[in-house]
Amino acid sequence: MLFHPDRVQRLTNAADSLGAAIAPSAMLLHAVLHMTDLAKRGDQSGAAAHIARLIECGAWTEAALGILDACCARWQLSRLIYDGGEWYCRLSSQRELPDWLGQTIETHHQSLAVALLKATVEASQQEATADQATTSLPRPAFDNLILCEDFF
């Protein structure tokens, strides 16, 4: 996905609204769905429409899992625990690696759907900053290449 400056701002706004959320709502899930640009990408599989139907039905957890699956293909749900009245969600970029070695995202919330959405937004933020870093690198100029090896 290409880097867009307004995408980083939208991700920050979504993270702020999720941090203040007490329970999932259709408006919150639609905001995260809009933030992911899933509908704008020319979704061939109809994932955006399916997620929108789940939101309309009130299936918050299924919709949150669908958003995670559709927009963060590199990240996988590696741990989901309910402890002390809160859901703890962990995403990892490589499930085969141990927790301390791989790149992980950990979130928690009283609602399972909100915990999953928080993890999705954080994963999208990391991907957006990675896109920003790769687009800001200068491209090497290959116009004046000279072979400078001495074979004697």
Residues 12-21 have pLDDT tens digits of 666 566 666 7
29-46 confidence digits (pLDDT tens): 888 887 776 656 655 568
CA distance 22 to 20: 7
Q: Which residues of 89-103 are buried (b: 16+ CB within 10 A; e: fewer)?
A: bbbbbeeeeeeeeee
Residues in contact with 111: Cβ distance below 8 Å, sequence separation at least 6, in sequence order: 21, 22, 23, 24, 60, 87
Residue-wise pLDDT tens digits, 76-88 = 898 999 999 999 9
Give the domain ranges of the chain.
5-127
Weakly modelled stretches of the chain, pLDDT under 70? 1-20, 37-45, 99, 130-148, 150-152
